[in-house]
């Protein structure tokens, strides 16, 4: 796991209070929920949200039997757990999205919103998601759009050096990327996904507009503008519905977790641990107070010394 790309770590951050709560982002929250509801089937079996953080969108998954909130940050998942603890459908899993701790073909639905912009290697991430995707399922992806109207205007006025028309991703800050819509489609298709309907979102993500106009009005206008996504993408955020790869497999009944290192299916939790039965691997992973922690394996030397 040491050769994987770098991952943006929000461990211990105040992301919820600093970025969302009472921070003037009600508009963004509303329009993203509108887009998600339009694309995600209302009910199903297994769903995973990749980069779920503190569980902002968890109440959108009420129709699903089992929901995994997956994130690299243990502390954010603990925040989600604090307000969702009474709902047994939720499973809290910390880990690296380049080495997902799940068996092949497990998830009927996958949701990824406001997190792809932290992917240093999006194709590697898509490859791993294709592995855990159940054939016939749905992958709802949101990405930061490189070819948005503001970027094109700034480029035309020579106020930014990178071109919004170039296909390759641009890292505008450390581990923060914008993506060209066609490049995203190409990478998804290469991994077997079938990109379909697009929605453009957050057309009015402008400070003075959000201060002057009622949030409800902006959300209604954005809701109408979202339908333009199939023809052009000028907004800073794009949602795309992807059919899961057809050539995948469906997970074997009663299997769920897999060793992120060797992909061997894991058994039951014993003594607060999940242990890999592969003799060539043998790594163990901590389970503590309902949080499955695959962020890093348990130090075997500490177990022996203990």
Domain residue extents for the chain: 15-253, 257-306
HSE value, Cβ hemisphere, 13 Å, CA-based, for 74:
11
Q: State which H helix or E strand residue 48 sits in.
A: strand 44-50
pLDDT in tens, the chain (306 residues): 457 899 999 999 999 999 999 899 999 999 999 999 999 999 999 999 999 999 999 999 999 999 999 999 999 999 999 999 889 999 999 999 999 999 999 999 999 999 999 999 999 999 999 999 999 999 999 999 999 999 999 999 999 999 999 999 999 999 999 999 999 999 999 999 999 999 999 999 999 999 999 999 999 999 999 999 999 999 999 999 999 999 989 999 999 999 999 999 999 999 999 999 999 999 999 999 999 999 999 987 655 554
| Per-residue confidence (pLDDT) for residue 1, from 0 to 100 | 43
> Using CA of residue 143, residue 170, residue 208, residue 154, what is the dihedral sign?
negative
DSSP character for 17? I
> Using an 8 Å Cβ cutoff, are 128 and 116 in contact?
no
Closest to 257 measured CA to CA, from 235, 239, 284, 231: 284
For 131, the 3-state DSSP assignment is helix
DSSP character for 16? I
d(CA 129, CA 254): 20
d(CA 176, CA 169): 10
> Using CA of residue 6, residue 181, residue 192, residue 56, what is the dihedral sign?
positive
DSSP 18-43: IIITTTT-HHHHHHHHHHHHHHS-S-
Q: What is the CATH number of domain 15-253?
A: 3.40.50.150
Closest to 248 measured CA to CA, from 66, 107, 96, 41: 107
CB atoms within 10 A of CB 103: 20
Strand order in the sheet with 291-293: 194-201, 237-243, 133-144, 107-112, 44-50, 64-71, 90-94, 291-293, 284-288, 273-275
Conformation bin of residue 209: beta by default, left when phi > 0, alpha when psi is -120 to 50 = alpha
> Using CA of residue 219, residue 221, residue 223, residue 225, what is the dihedral sign?
negative
> Using an 8 Å Cβ cutoff, are 145 and 135 in contact?
no
Write down the H helix ranges in the chain.
Answer: 15, 26-39, 74-84, 122-132, 149-156, 181-190, 207-212, 215-225, 300-305
């Amino acid at each position: 796991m040491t050769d994987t790309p770098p991952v943006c770590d929000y461990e211990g951050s105040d992301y919820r209070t600093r970025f969302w709560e009472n921070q003037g982002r009600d508009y963004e929250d509303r329009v993203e929920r509108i887009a998600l509801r339009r694309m995600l089937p209302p009910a199903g079996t297994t769903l995973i949200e990749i980069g779920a953080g503190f569980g902002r969108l968890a109440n959108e998954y009420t129709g699903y039997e089992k929901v995994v909130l997956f994130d690299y940050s243990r502390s954010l998942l603990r925040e989600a757990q604090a307000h969702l603890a009474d709902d047994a459908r939720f499973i809290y899993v910390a880990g690296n999205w380049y080495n997902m701790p799940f068996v092949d073909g497990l998830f009927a639905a996958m949701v990824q919103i406001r997190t792809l912009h932290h992917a240093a290697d999006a194709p590697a991430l898509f490859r791993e998601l294709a592995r855990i995707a159940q054939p016939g399922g749905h992958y709802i992806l949101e990405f930061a759009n490189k070819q948005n109207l503001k970027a094109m205007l700034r480029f035309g006025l020579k106020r930014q050096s990178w071109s919004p028309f170039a296909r390759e991703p641009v890292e505008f800050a450390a581990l923060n990327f914008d993506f060209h819509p066609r490049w995203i489609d190409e990478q998804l298709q290469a991994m077997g996904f079938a990109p379909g309907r697009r929605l453009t979102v957050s057309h009015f993500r402008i400070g003075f507009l959000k201060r002057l106009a009622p949030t409800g009005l902006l959300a209604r206008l954005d809701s109408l503008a979202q339908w333009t996504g199939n023809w052009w993408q000028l907004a800073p955020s794009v949602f795309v519905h992807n059919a899961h790869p057809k050539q995948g497999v469906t997970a074997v009944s009663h299997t769920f977790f897999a060793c992120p290192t060797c992909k061997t299916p894991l058994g039951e939790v014993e003594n607060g641990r999940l242990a890999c039965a592969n003799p060539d691997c043998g790594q163990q992973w901590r389970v503590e107070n309902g949080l499955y922690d695959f962020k890093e394996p348990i130090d075997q030397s500490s177990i022996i010394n203990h």
